[in-house]
């Protein structure tokens, strides 16, 4: 049929700079058309949303070019690492929707790395240095001035060989000796001034136990690990740019498969602290409920808050990849979350700040069941029944005794629609002796219920409600942005980041919800109509539901 010719042309997505490099490599047959990436976290903390960018990038490239992507734990520093972290990292990567082609650990390569180090020693390209940490630091010089050579730099190969072996055998104390690459103490690149390859650390490793007491440094381990795994494109963040010459130096010196390191700018989010060190501090000082506190920018935190993997992948796609420093506005993240949740979240009515509404002309003790749509964006989710009666809870926000011009919800003498139910008109308010409103009295208008003869009558506002006789209480947590509103750019001078945290970042209130929610289980997400998206907390029991606010609706609902 002709139909196919009328299909709109698919929009060509421009390549990002990494894809261009890959396609050029494929054209030049640099890696035999192979694309093999890896995500290489150090298991020293939980993954955060910045890692999500890297994960989506690495796994995304592998998928796009029909290649592979490994998960590799860069576990070369046993002091900071733990199995708890490797478990959480695996869970988070899977939650994001990715399956790795191989699961590896830098610690798997300790023997090979050691053998290669011996090889470099034999070739006169590495030496054992007895200098103290301070002496080495001093000898390295400063960026603008060359360093000085260590007095141990010209030891014989035989002596170096013997010393390095004895280092491995545990004959020396921590910090007493290191193995260094013999490169160039005058290099303008500090990382080339005889970088340390191995240090002595008599610490138990979470995987190799006490087998090793010397551990390779990042620079000595990373490129070779990539090489062993046959990685073609080693994608990392910008701060490793100055490490690249060293990465290349080791691959060349050992004459092994040489992956290409490509650097991109890490994600920064406005109002959000992404530093693992600071996040760890919050957890350790019990300032949050844990790594998965819904205020945390960790992947487990945003999961608990109700963000979806789809929206995170879409976010990563939308922010793009480049080499310039960037700060993404939180509004873009929230847009991505809303866009996905709007399609999927089931609607429900809830009242967060209740005030009683009495329909004076509605018979006491009478109730009716009304039809409510579960999700107007997805008709397949069907309808549910909700109970309606004389006494209802509505949100305090939806009533104004003296309304401003732009307010078109309930006010004295004014008509609004109760969602799915009747049009009502406000007669009077009842106040206590202090003048506070205790209840609002209205009349409902007959035949205006949804589906009835006068139901098409137009009123300016529609408000949500729950029946006093049927409503269920729930605890609701409201959060201010991600991560306690901390904005690195707005830090008051002289204050630590802790002092700049917003103490009101979490408000806990009691609200009323519909008696039954479909799919009621931890991490189920709903849109409370006219209020926002809420996620059942992971620790919630059916007796007392706890909700975390995922995101507000755009415009928040209320102009006054």
Partner RNA sequence: UGACCUAUGGUGUAAUGGUAGCACUGCAGUUUUUGGUACUGCCUGUCUAGGUUCGAAUCCUGGUAGGUCAACCA
Catalytic machinery residues: 42, 266, 276
* C-alpha torsion 20→326→290→287, nearest 10: 170
Single out the residue of 114, 240, 399, 479 in contact with RNA (rule: CB under 7 A): 240
d(Cα 250, Cα 221) in Å, to the nearest integer? 10
Which residue matches tokens 């029944």? Answer: 385
Q: Are 249 and 182 in contact (CB under 8 A)?
A: no
Single out the residue of 83, 158, 186, 322 in contact with RNA (rule: CB under 7 A): 322
Q: How many chain residues bind RNA (CB under 7 A)?
A: 99
**Residue 76 is inside which H or E element, if any?**
none
Cβ 368 to RNA shortest distance, Å? 13
Q: Which of residues 26-45 bind RNA (CB under 7 A)?
A: 40, 42
Cβ 242 to RNA shortest distance, Å? 5
Single out the residue of 191, 304, 477, 481 in contact with RNA (rule: CB under 7 A): 191
Cα angle 58-59-65, degrees, rounded to a multiple of 5: 95
Single out the residue of 118, 136, 185, 478 in contact with RNA (rule: CB under 7 A): 136
Phi, then psi, of 443 in degrees rounded to 5: -110, 140
- Which burial class, exposed, middle or buried, applies to 68 when counting CB atoms under 10 A from its CB (0-12, 13-18, 19+)? buried
Beta carbon nearer to RNA, 293 or 444: 444
Cβ 345 to RNA shortest distance, Å? 8
How many CA atoms are closer than 13 Å to the CA of 482, on its beta-carbon side? 32
Bridge partners (DSSP) of residue 467 are: 392
Single out the residue of 338, 477, 481, 549 in contact with RNA (rule: CB under 7 A): 338
Beta carbon nearer to RNA, 509 or 558: 558
Q: Is 14 in the site for RNA (CB under 7 A)?
A: yes
d(Cα 187, Cα 190) in Å, to the nearest integer? 7
Cβ 296 to RNA shortest distance, Å? 20
* C-alpha torsion 465→470→471→472, nearest 10: -160
**Cα of 484 vs its chain's centroid, Å:** 15
Cβ 98 to RNA shortest distance, Å? 19
Q: Are 113 and 220 in contact (CB under 8 A)?
A: yes
Q: Is 24 in the site for RNA (CB under 7 A)?
A: no
Q: Is 320 in the site for RNA (CB under 7 A)?
A: yes
- Which residue from 388, 393, 390 is spatially nearest to 356, judged by alpha carbons? 393
Cβ 107 to RNA shortest distance, Å? 11
Single out the residue of 329, 369, 401, 490 in contact with RNA (rule: CB under 7 A): 329
Relative to beta strand 350-351, strand 506-513 is antiparallel
Q: Is 15 in the site for RNA (CB under 7 A)?
A: yes
Beta carbon nearer to RNA, 76 or 300: 76
Look up residue 213 and give its two tokens.
């007491």
Q: Which of residues 259-298 bind RNA (CB under 7 A)?
A: 265
Q: Is 332 in the site for RNA (CB under 7 A)?
A: yes
**Residue 425 is inside which H or E element, if any?**
strand 423-431
Q: Which of residues 510-529 bind RNA (CB under 7 A)?
A: 527, 529
Single out the residue of 95, 152, 335, 367 in contact with RNA (rule: CB under 7 A): 335
Look up residue 218 and give its two tokens.
């990042």
Single out the residue of 54, 76, 150, 311 in contact with RNA (rule: CB under 7 A): 76
Single out the residue of 26, 30, 248, 327 in contact with RNA (rule: CB under 7 A): 327
**Residue 146 is inside which H or E element, if any?**
none
Q: Which stretch binds RNA (CB under 7 A): 76-84, 107-115, 426-434, 512-520?
A: 76-84
d(Cα 248, Cα 543) in Å, to the nearest integer? 60
Look up residue 241 and give its two tokens.
């740019």
**Cα of 272 vs its chain's centroid, Å:** 11
Single out the residue of 8, 10, 143, 435 in contact with RNA (rule: CB under 7 A): 143
Residues 82-111, one symbol each (x = binds RNA by CB under 7 A, - = not), give ------------------------------
Look up residue 444 and give its two tokens.
């409902």
Cβ 147 to RNA shortest distance, Å? 8
Interhelix angle 244-254/110-122, rounded to 10 degrees, is 80
Single out the residue of 70, 77, 261, 300 in contact with RNA (rule: CB under 7 A): 77
Beta carbon nearer to RNA, 89 or 506: 89
Q: Which of residues 161-190 bind RNA (CB under 7 A)?
A: 174-178, 188-190
Phi, then psi, of 135 in degrees rounded to 5: -65, -40
Q: Is 8 in the site for RNA (CB under 7 A)?
A: no
DSSP string, 77-101: -TTT--HHHHHHHHHHHHHTT---S
Beta carbon nearer to RNA, 293 or 414: 414
Q: Which of residues 199-228 bind RNA (CB under 7 A)?
A: 199-201, 215-219, 221-222
Cβ 454 to RNA shortest distance, Å? 9
Cβ 522 to RNA shortest distance, Å? 23
Look up residue 165 and give its two tokens.
């072996």
Look up residue 533 and give its two tokens.
């998206």
Bridge partners (DSSP) of residue 274 are: none
DSSP string, 489-538: GGPPTT--TTTTS-TTSEEEEEEEE-S--TT-STT-EEEETTTEEEEE-T
Residues 420-459, one symbol each (x = binds RNA by CB under 7 A, - = not), give xx--------------------------xxxx---xx-x-
Single out the residue of 408, 412, 480, 502 in contact with RNA (rule: CB under 7 A): 408
Beta carbon nearer to RNA, 286 or 456: 456
């Amino acid at each position: 049929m002709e139909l196919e010719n009328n299909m709109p042309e698919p929009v060509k997505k421009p390549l990002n700079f990494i894809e261009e490099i890959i396609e050029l490599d494929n054209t030049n047959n640099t890696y035999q058309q192979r694309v093999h990436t890896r995500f290489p976290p150090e298991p020293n903390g939980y993954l955060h949303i910045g890692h999500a960018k890297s994960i989506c990038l690495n796994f995304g490239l592998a998928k796009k070019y029909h290649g592979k992507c490994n998960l590799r734990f860069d576990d070369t520093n046993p002091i900071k690492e733990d199995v708890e972290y490797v478990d959480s990292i695996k869970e988070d990567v899977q939650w994001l929707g990715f399956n790795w082609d191989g699961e590896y650990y830098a610690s798997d390569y300790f023997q090979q790395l050691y053998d290669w180090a011996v090889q470099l020693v034999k070739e006169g390209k590495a030496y054992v240095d007895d200098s103290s940490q301070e002496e080495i630091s001093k000898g390295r010089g400063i960026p603008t001035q060359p360093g000085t050579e260590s007095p141990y730099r010209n030891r014989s190969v035989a002596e170096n060989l013997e010393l390095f072996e004895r280092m491995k055998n545990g004959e020396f104390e921590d910090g007493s000796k290191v193995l260094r690459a013999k490169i160039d103490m005058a290099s303008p690149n500090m990382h080339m001034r005889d970088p340390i390859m191995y240090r002595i650390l008599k610490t138990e490793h979470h995987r190799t136990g006490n087998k090793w007491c010397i551990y390779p440094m990042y620079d000595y381990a990373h490129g070779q690990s990539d090489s062993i795994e046959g990685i073609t494109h080693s994608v990392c963040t910008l701060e490793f740019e100055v490490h690249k010459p060293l990465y290349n130096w080791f691959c060349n010196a050992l004459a092994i498969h040489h992956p290409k390191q490509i650097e991109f700018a890490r994600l920064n989010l406005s109002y959000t602290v992404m530093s693992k060190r600071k996040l760890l501090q919050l957890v350790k000082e019990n300032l949050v409920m844990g790594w998965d506190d819904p205020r945390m920018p960790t992947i487990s935190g945003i999961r608990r808050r109700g963000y979806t993997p789809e929206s995170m992948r879409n976010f990563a796609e939308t922010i793009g990849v480049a080499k310039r420093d960037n700060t993404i506005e939180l509004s873009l993240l929230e847009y991505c979350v809303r866009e996905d949740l709007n399609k999927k979240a089931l609607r429900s009515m809830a009242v967060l700040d209740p005030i009683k509404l009495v329909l004076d002309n509605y018979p006491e003790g009478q109730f009716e069941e009304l039809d409510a749509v579960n999700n107007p964006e997805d008709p397949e989710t069907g309808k549910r029944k909700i109970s309606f009666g004389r006494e209802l809870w509505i949100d305090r926000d939806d009533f104004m005794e003296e309304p401003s011009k732009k307010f078109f919800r309930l006010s004295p003498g004014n008509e609004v629609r109760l969602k799915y139910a009747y049009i009502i008109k406000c007669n009077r308010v009842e106040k206590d002796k202090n003048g506070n409103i205790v209840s609002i009295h209205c009349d409902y208008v007959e035949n205006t219920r949804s589906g009835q003869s006068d139901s098409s009558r137009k009123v300016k506002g529609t408000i949500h409600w729950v029946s006093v006789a049927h409503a269920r209480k729930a605890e609701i947590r409201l959060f201010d942005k991600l991560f306690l509103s901390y904005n690195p750019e707005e830090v008051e001078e002289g204050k630590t980041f802790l002092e700049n945290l917003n103490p009101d970042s979490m408000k806990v209130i009691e609200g009323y919800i519909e008696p039954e929610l479909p799919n009621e289980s931890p991490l189920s997400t709903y849109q409370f109509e006219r209020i926002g998206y809420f996620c059942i907390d992971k620790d919630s029991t059916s007796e007392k539901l706890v909700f975390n606010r995922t995101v507000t609706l755009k415009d928040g609902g209320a102009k006054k």
